[in-house]
A = this chain, B = another copy of it.
Amino acid sequence: MSNALSSWTDVAGKNPVLGFLDINLRGAGQVIFQNNPLTGLFFLAAIVWGAIAGGQIDIAIGAVVALVIATVTAILLDADKASLEQGLFGFNGVLVGAAVPTFLADGATMWFLLVVGAAVSTVVMLAVSKVMKTWETPALTFPFVLTTWFLVLGAYSFGQVPIASMGPPALPHAVSGAETAVNATELFLAWLKGPAQVFLINNPVSGVLVLIGLLVSSPWAALLAALGAAVALAVSLALGASLASITAGLYGFSPVLTAVALGCVFYAPSARVLGFALLGTIFTVIVQGAMDAGIAPIGIPTFTAPFVFVTWLFLLPKADLQPHPHAPIQGGLFKKKS
């Protein structure tokens, strides 16, 4: 596999068209941290399969269009070439392009927002990266989350931007007790839908394609994605989350990303790291429930924000574990006058 990849990289390096294709495929792969064009191809296949199966081909078209626009914007902005070639300016675009047609109705204004959002996602990627690099921490999918929050929230103010499926805005209210039990088949399908919902796709076959895409690039990533989805399933069931959400994979996608990010991408796998990643994955499920309630009054989805916030919190500590003491700050409030 790595020989074939290396040959492809050589070919792509010599041909500008294949090179551009390569960057975009890697961009798709980077949604789950894989700098690998074959992985990206499997991820795009997962989106296309899910979009066709769901009768919403505009989701697949949107994802590809936005991926290309985000990448081209990075080129126009003279973004760092090495980062560009790893696909780091494409993965937020793919997600913007899959999300906008999922939540907004097809039409000229939807495509206008999608194109503007894809270009802006690259600017936001540069901005968030600049800030997070201060602490050697990646931007993750926050550029997608922030950009798309603005795009879909705006729909409530704009009469020419009809909403397809989200909201309506509502105050959260306490729920109590467990719902009717689910059977083993539903649980199995819910487990597979976790990886698919990373791309906003509610389809178990797409989940399998995502896992295969990870496997060809990193067995650890595939394993941790599968384990992360399983942990999320167990915790969300035990806490009594909505069964409709659980069986649609909506409690699974953020924990999948947290498990892969903490367990094998940014830290090298070890017993302690896996324990740390497990704590982060469990906490991601709690944060998913919290953010679903917290965002309900404004009627938009949380996207991958639970993954982003938890993973940032678990990446920031790293090797330097010394907080500022509760003692006077050097220099005090006023400069000493000489």
Closest to A89 in B: B323
Known: A82-B322, A127-B317, A333-B319. A293 touches B160 (CB 8 A): no
Q: How far is the CA of A267 from the CA of B177 in the complex (A)?
A: 50
What is the minimal beta-carbon distance from A283 to any residue of chain B, in angstroms?
A: 5
What is the minimal beta-carbon distance from A157 to any residue of chain B, in angstroms?
A: 3
Q: Interface residues of A, CB < 8 Å — how many? A: 117
A66 on interface, CB distance cutoff 8 Å: no
Chain A 74-106 interface 0/1 with B at a Cβ cutoff of 8 Å (1 = within): 101111101100101000000000000000000
Q: Are A282 and B334 in contact (CB under 8 A)?
A: no
What is the minimal beta-carbon distance from A234 to any residue of chain B, in angstroms?
A: 12
What is the minimal beta-carbon distance from A81 to any residue of chain B, in angstroms?
A: 9
Q: Are A127 and B321 in contact (CB under 8 A)?
A: no
Copies of this chain per assembly: 3
Q: Are A238 and B272 in contact (CB under 8 A)?
A: no
Partner of A239, one of B160, B169, B293: B160
Partner of A321, one of B80, B163, B316: B80
Partner of A130, one of B80, B179, B298, B316: B316
Q: How far is the CA of A327 from the CA of B181 in the complex (A)?
A: 41
What is the minimal beta-carbon distance from A326 to any residue of chain B, in angstroms?
A: 4
Q: For A184, what are the chain B residues with a Cβ–Cβ distance below 8 Å? A: none
Q: For A54, what are the chain B residues with a Cβ–Cβ distance below 8 Å? A: none
Which 4 pairs between the two chains have the least Cβ-Cβ distance? A129-B323, A159-B240, A160-B240, A126-B317
A55 on interface, CB distance cutoff 8 Å: no
Q: Are A323 and B126 in contact (CB under 8 A)?
A: yes
A6 on interface, CB distance cutoff 8 Å: no
A16 on interface, CB distance cutoff 8 Å: no
Q: Are A333 and B318 in contact (CB under 8 A)?
A: yes
What is the minimal beta-carbon distance from A87 to any residue of chain B, in angstroms?
A: 9
* Residues of chain A from 234 to 262 with CB closer than 8 A to chain B in the complex: 238-242
